Every structure is written in structure tokens, then in C-alpha cells.
């Protein structure tokens, strides 16, 4: 797998236009001291470049780029189109989005443009064209950055222009009003349409039930599809304008992992390299962050990605802006590299003094010096990446486990009015993902439409809450399992077709034959309720190598009949379906399918995963909570093994094939000395952090707080 860049990009968003020009040189010099070699510029500069409809002024951007070229910096150059200028809002108010009630927004915020606005599209194309013509071939130009975080902060547009374009989109898709009425089940509540102009977006004043649900679910799903395509068209317009002037430099836009409104698999097919912004919450599990990295790698077709943004310290939009602990940002950075990042970048390089992001972390803080903890830790990370980052670039992640992530199932599941509001699609995918992550198994995240040939690369494929099964998906899964594959799915899967209509004939619809179960009813539980799941005398499924499936189920419980499958665990309690099957296993051709009837806790899901992989040639580990083990494979046959601790408590991880190996980097960063008397424990921790990790004879890796170990196995 070839690398996209000549060197490992280490830098991030720099907004010198917010500062006097006399500070710029000092900024760049300080960043050089931190071993930074890249700046992402021009992200929000539209009005500076185009102060009115007919005037363009690139003098300030010329000066910024000239300074970066002088210092041999790598440049990621944005197109500046993520926020509509005030003059455009005044002259062409139709460029602004309308909210769920159809009310047009006023000037302000960002991502405030209507994706179907001809004025926005033409103005954005013109500006992008001029930027590409002017700066293509600039020394150090590594990538073009189109717009920024599409959809974030703006939401879906419900304006009249979108309504008109939506009707044209529907007419092209369905051909006739009769076909549309059938696809949406429009006899419900006398919703039958007799003219195309009667179609309305799912407005709050009409069929919308908030932004996520609708009286007519097919309307909502199609409107989300339409908005996704309209927004993607905006990206393609700017991308193509660049390509007419620069044939080779990679083009990207920064994605946001599990962001709901956009189907990123569709976007990944249009991007040269995927980039994304990683902002885990204060209580985000390490495995959830790992899943998001793997999702973004999957969106990019398995290629290395760019870590375009992360914070070097606080995240300003949290209700409580905790500082990052010593070593935490370094651990998060190496964690990203472990899962496929070929860059480490930050927002922001210099901290703003105004606006809502002034308390968001930065490499250069408000003090403007190199004396801060954040600057010193960044310098340490920069030294490491400078030494070994380039040798890791282009190496691949190889997985024999795949998890399906499907944006249309995301929309469909969370659009359901019943049986519960407790299901959140990314959380349910993570429930399955974490079971494999805890076993140290690398996971690819793939779309539901992956064909049987793609599925055949994996020993096991899981499809959590795949509520919408699109045409051909069930057939590909059946072929995969029939030829020997292992498949796991479960509650809320297989219920809907591509129009978001219930599949007649019983749940789980087209997956019924494959799973060998019929789900007759779906029970829902209150947030504090749970149901016991346990292996019984006739349902243990227990072998010498697999544990009994024991745990608690929450949120929903599938009440099911066996149609060829055998029970692995049953529901407990004293309800009327106590003793019925909770987890099943079905031999199908040469393979096997498992159905998990309820949202199992971690222990229960891990036991299911162990059962599913029983007999497969997969080497498992025991990964403690908050830790991560990942491997990247170089073209020369060597391996980079990353062992990361994403928590403040020390960790002990056993990786047998690391026995006796020494890490390439020191393990951690100790708490800084603020001039107070240090305890023996603090002094010992500082000394411990300054050593390289050597795995024990049995492969034991001891990691201190936010410790990192990177091994190169030849």
C-alpha cells in the first residue's frame, strides 16, 4: 500500500488571519521548535478573500503561504467555503438554510448554506477555481481541504428550493406518483399523493416528528438520502474545480466518524484520502474511539487516513472542559496511528482570543510561549513522529473480523416510533465491536452492500441492528455463510426493506432463513430494567473452549421461535417468555449464523463472540478496559505493534508474540514539576515514564498512565 505523502504530517489548523501579521513569524518558529511541519490554512476565510460579490483579494493569503514556503512547511490548503459571508446572506438570503419549521436562518454560525442553492454552488465553485489556479504547484502543498465538516452545526435544510429539488429527485427515482405512494405506504392517514407538488419535506409543521422521526418513515429516509446527495454534490463541484487546475494533489474534506446526517461510505468513494476529526468525550471508552478510527479507515476503502483534527488540550463545547492529563494527547495520537492514521494534526495551532472557541486547546496558548505543559508534550510527540513516523506510513491494517455499519439503518432505526427510544445505532454497533476489541482482534468496518467476494476475506462478519436490508444484501450474506463464513446479527435486524417498510412474513425478514429463527414479538424495557440471559441445561452451547453465555439483556428482547437454529442461551426471570431462546446458533451450508435476541452486557457479548469464533484460526488476547493493541503491516513483511493505555490507571497487557521485544518510544509522560516538593511515588513515576518498554518473557507489557509502546517486529 503506497503512502500519500513524502513525510509524516504533524501540524494542524492555523488561523493567522485572526492575529496581527507581526506575530506570524514567531508562530511558525515556535511550531518548528515543536517539530511541527504542516499547517492547515484558509478554512474560514471567505470574506477576506472575497469582500463583495465581484471583488477578490488574495494578498493576505499570499503572505501566509509565502511565510510557510519560506519555512519549508507542508500545506493543507482549504477552499474557505464552510461559512457564507454576510454580504452573500444580505444579497441572496436564499443561500441560507431553513430549519425544521421551514423558517429561513439569518446570517451567522457556520455550515449555514443550503446545499441546493445555485448561488452558493456557483460562488463556491468560482472561489475554489480561483484558489486552485493561483496556488496549484505551491511548494509544500500536500492536500486540498474542501469546505469543512459538512453539516456540522447546520443541520438538514427544509427550504422551498430543497422541496422543489426533492420532488424532481423523487420523480427521477420513482417515475410515477403511483410508485411513490406504494413505496411510502401513503394510504396511511390518507397521505395518498395525487400530484408531485403535494410532496413536502418532513417539516415540523407537517409530517416531521422532530428532526429524526416522521409520520411517513419512507419520506424521512428518502429526504435524508436526497440531502446527503445534495451535500455531496457541493463537495464534488469544488473537488472538480480543483482537479481542472491540479491533476495530482490529494483532495479531502474532514469527516466526523459516526455523524448521522451524511452517509460517509458514499463520500469516501469520492475522496482521494479520508480525513477526520477525533474528539472523544470525557467518558468515551477507548474501544469506541478505536471503532471510529476503524470506521473512517473503512470509509476510505481500507487505506490509511488523515487525523485532521484533535484537541491538544480542552474541548470547548463540553459542559465541563477538563484539561487533558499528562500524556493523554500523546496516547490518543499514537492510538490513531495504530488504527491507520498517516498524519497527526490538531485544532488549533494558536489559541484564538475571541469567538466561541477561545477556550479550545491549542499548541500555542494565550500566554504565547513555549513554557507550557501542552507545548512541551507536543514537542515530545513531534520528536517521536519525526524519528519513526515516516517508516510507519503506508503500512496496512489487516483484519479477519468485519462489522457492518450502515447509515440508512442508522436513520431507519432511530426514526422508529416504537418499540423503544432507547436504541442509538452507533452504541449498538459498538456493543458488538467491543466484544471483538476486548479479544485483541482487529476489525474492519464495512458497508452493508459489500458483496460476497468482499465478505469472503473475513472469518466472521457481524451486522448489529441492521434494521434495513437493502436489495441483494441478504443474498450476499447467505452466499458468504454457505461457503463457510460466520455471521452474527440480532435484535431489530431485518425488519425493513429499502423503502423503510416492514418486510411481510415475520422478523427478521430476509435474514430469517439464514438465522433459522422467527421473531414473533419484540419486547421493550424501561431504562432501568434488564432481563437475565443464561445458558441452561439444554441450551449451554458450552464446549471446552467456549464459556457459557451469561449476562443481562437490556433495551429490547426478541421473543422468538427456532426454525432450524439451536439455543445457546435462554431468558431467565419470571415473565411469560422466560425459558425461551435469547441467543441462537444456526448451521447454514458450511458456515454458521448467530442471532442475539437482546442488547447483552459486555460479558454476555464477549461470550457470544468467543462462541462465534470457536474453531477459527484467530489468535485472541485479553485486553483490559481502556487499553488497545493494534498491528500495521509494512510492505517489507515487518509489523508495527502498538500497545496503548488510554486511561490514567496503569495497565498490564499480555501479547505473547512480543516476548523480549523493546519499544521504539518511551512509555509515558509524567506529571510536570510545578516547583512543589514531589513525593517518592511521583518521582518514581517520572523516572518510569522516561524508559522504553521491554515486554516480558511471556509478552507482558506494563504501561503506566497513558503509556504507549510501539514495537517493530522484523
Measure Cα distances from 127 to 57, 77, 174 in Å: 11, 13, 36
Quick one: cell of 571? 431468558
Q: How far apart (Å, rounded) are the C-alpha atoms in residues 340 and 218?
A: 36
∠ at Cα 67 (367, 308), nearest 5°? Answer: 70
In the annotation, is 635 catalytic?
no
Instruction: Report helix angle 24-33 to 59-70, nearest 10.
Output: 30
Contacts of range 537-540, beta carbons closer than 8 Å, 24 or more positions apart: 538/567, 539/566, 539/567, 539/568, 539/569, 539/570, 539/581, 540/568
User: For residues 248-263, b (16+ Cβ closer than 10 Å) or e, as one string?
Assistant: ebbbbbbbbbbbbbbb
In whole angstroms, what separates CA 26 from the centre of its chain? 35
Q: How far apart (Å, rounded) are the C-alpha atoms in residues 76 and 41?
A: 6
Q: Can you tell me whether residue 94 is helix, strand or coil?
A: helix
Q: Can you tell me whether residue 588 is helix, strand or coil?
A: strand
Q: How far apart (Å, rounded) are the C-alpha atoms in residues 546 and 615?
A: 10
Span between the terminal Cα atoms of the chain, in Å: 18
Measure Cα distances from 172 to 122, 168, 169 in Å: 24, 6, 5
The single-letter DSSP state of residue 160 is H
Report, in this order, helix, strand and coil percent for the chain, each rounded to 5: 35, 20, 45
Q: How far apart (Å, rounded) are the C-alpha atoms in residues 373 and 672?
A: 7
CB 450 within 8 A of CB 476: yes
DSSP letters spanning 615-638: TSS-----PPTTEEEEEEE-TTS-
In the annotation, is 498 catalytic?
no
**Cα atoms found within 13 Å of the Cα of residue 347, Cβ hemisphere only:** 19
Instruction: Please identify which of the residues 149, 165, 238, 478 carries the catalytic annotation.
Output: 149
Q: What ranges in 585-701 are assigned the alpha helix state H? A: 602-613, 680-689
Instruction: Please identify which of the residues 38, 165, 309, 328 carries the catalytic annotation.
Output: 309
In whole angstroms, what separates CA 344 from the centre of its chain? 16
Q: Can you tell me whether residue 452 is helix, strand or coil?
A: helix
Active site residues: 149, 309
Amino acid at each position: 500500500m503506497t503512502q500519500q505523502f513524502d513525510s509524516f504530517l504533524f501540524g494542524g489548523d492555523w488561523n493567522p488571519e485572526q492575529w496581527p501579521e507581526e506575530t506570524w513569524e514567531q508562530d511558525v518558529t515556535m511550531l518548528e521548535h515543536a517539530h511541527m511541519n504542516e499547517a492547515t490554512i484558509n478554512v474560514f476565510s471567505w470574506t477576506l478573500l472575497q469582500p463583495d460579490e465581484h471583488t477578490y483579494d488574495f494578498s493576505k493569503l499570499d503572505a501566509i503561504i509565502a511565510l510557510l514556503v519560506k519555512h519549508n512547511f507542508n500545506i493543507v490548503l482549504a477552499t474557505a467555503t464552510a461559512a457564507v459571508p454576510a454580504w452573500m446572506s444580505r444579497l441572496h438570503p436564499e443561500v441560507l438554510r431553513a430549519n425544521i419549521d421551514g423558517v429561513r436562518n439569518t446570517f451567522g454560525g457556520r455550515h449555514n448554506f443550503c446545499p441546493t442553492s445555485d448561488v452558493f454552488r456557483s460562488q463556491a465553485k468560482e472561489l475554489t477555481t480561483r484558489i486552485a489556479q493561483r496556488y496549484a504547484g505551491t511548494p509544500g502543498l500536500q492536500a486540498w481541504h474542501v469546505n469543512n465538516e459538512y453539516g456540522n452545526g447546520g443541520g438538514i435544510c427544509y427550504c422551498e428550493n430543497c422541496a422543489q429539488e426533492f420532488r424532481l429527485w423523487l420523480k427521477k427515482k420513482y417515475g410515477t406518483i403511483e410508485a411513490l405512494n406504494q413505496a411510502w405506504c401513503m394510504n396511511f392517514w390518507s397521505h395518498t399523493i395525487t400530484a408531485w407538488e403535494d410532496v413536502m419535506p418532513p417539516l415540523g409543521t407537517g409530517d416531521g416528528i422532530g428532526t429524526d422521526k416522521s409520520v411517513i418513515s419512507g419520506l424521512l429516509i428518502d429526504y435524508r438520502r436526497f440531502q446527503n446527495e445534495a451535500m455531496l454534490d457541493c463537495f464534488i463541484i469544488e473537488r472538480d474545480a480543483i482537479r481542472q487546475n491540479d491533476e495530482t494533489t490529494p483532495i479531502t474534506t474532514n469527516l466526523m466518524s459516526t455523524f448521522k446526517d451524511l452517509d460517509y461510505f458514499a463520500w469516501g468513494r469520492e475522496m482521494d484520502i479520508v480525513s477526520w476529526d477525533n474528539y472523544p468525550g470525557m467518558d468515551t471508552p477507548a474501544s469506541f474511539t478505536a471503532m471510529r478510527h476503524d470506521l473512517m479507515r473503512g470509509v476510505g476503502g481500507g487505506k490509511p487516513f488523515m487525523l485532521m483534527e484533535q484537541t491538544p488540550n480542552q474541548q470547548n463545547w463540553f459542559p465541563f472542559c477538563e484539561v487533558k492529563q499528562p500524556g493523554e494527547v500523546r496516547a490518543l495520537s499514537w492510538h490513531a496511528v495504530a488504527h491507520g492514521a498517516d498524519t497527526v494534526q490538531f485544532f488549533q495551532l494558536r489559541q484564538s482570543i475571541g469567538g466561541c472557541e477561545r477556550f479550545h486547546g491549542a499548541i500555542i496558548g494565550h500566554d504565547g510561549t513555549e513554557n507550557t505543559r501542552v507545548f512541551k508534550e507536543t514537542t515530545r510527540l513531534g520528536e517521536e513522529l519525526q524519528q519513526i513516523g515516516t517508516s510507519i506510513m503506508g503500512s496496512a491494517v489487516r483484519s479477519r473480523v468485519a462489522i457492518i455499519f450502515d447509515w440508512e439503518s442508522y436513520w431507519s432505526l432511530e426514526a422508529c416510533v416504537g418499540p423503544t427510544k432507547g436504541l442509538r445505532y452507533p452504541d449498538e454497533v459498538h456493543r458488538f465491536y467491543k466484544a471483538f476489541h476486548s479479544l485483541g482482534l482487529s476489525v474492519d468496518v464495512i458497508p452493508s452492500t459489500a458483496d460476497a467476494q468482499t465478505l469472503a476475506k473475513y472469518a466472521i462478519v457481524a451486522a448489529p441492528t441492521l434494521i434495513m436490508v437493502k436489495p441483494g444484501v441478504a443474498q450476499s450474506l447467505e452466499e458468504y455463510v454457505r461457503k463457510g463464513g460466520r455471521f452474527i446479527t440480532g435484535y431489530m435486524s431485518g425488519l425493513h426493506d429499502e423503502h423503510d417498510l416492514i418486510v411481510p412474513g415475520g422478523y427478521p425478514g430476509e435474514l430469517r432463513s439464514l438465522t433459522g429463527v422467527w421473531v414473533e414479538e419484540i419486547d421493550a424495557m424501561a431504562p432501568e430494567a434488564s432481563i437475565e440471559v443464561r445458558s441452561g441445561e439444554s441450551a449451554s452451547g458450552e464446549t471446552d473452549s467456549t464459556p457459557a453465555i451469561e449476562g443481562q439483556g437490556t433495551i429490547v428482547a426478541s421473543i422468538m421461535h427456532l426454525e432450524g437454529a439451536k439455543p445457546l442461551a435462554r431468558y431467565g426471570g419470571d415473565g411469560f417468555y422466560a425459558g425461551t431462546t435469547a441467543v441462537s446458533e444456526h448451521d447454514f451450508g458450511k458456515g454458521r449464523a448467530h442471532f442475539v435476541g437482546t442488547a447483552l452486557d459486555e460479558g454476555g457479548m464477549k461470550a457470544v463472540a468467543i462462541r462465534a469464533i470457536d474453531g477459527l484460526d484467530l489468535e485472541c488476547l485479553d485486553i483490559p478496559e481502556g487499553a488497545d493493541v493494534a498491528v500495521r503491516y509494512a510492505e517489507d513483511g515487518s509489523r508495527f505493534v502498538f500497545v496503548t493505555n488510554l486511561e490514567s490507571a496503569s495497565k498490564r497487557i499480555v501479547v505473547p508474540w512480543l516476548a523480549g521485544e523493546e519499544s521504539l518510544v518511551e512509555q509515558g509522560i509524567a506529571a510536570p514539576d510545578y516547583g512543589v516538593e514531589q513525593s517518592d511515588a511521583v518521582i518514581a513515576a517520572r523516572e518510569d515514564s522516561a524508559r522504553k518498554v521491554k515486554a516480558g518473557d511471556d509478552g507482558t507489557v506494563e504501561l503506566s498512565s497513558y503509556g504507549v509502546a510501539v514495537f517493530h517486529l522484523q
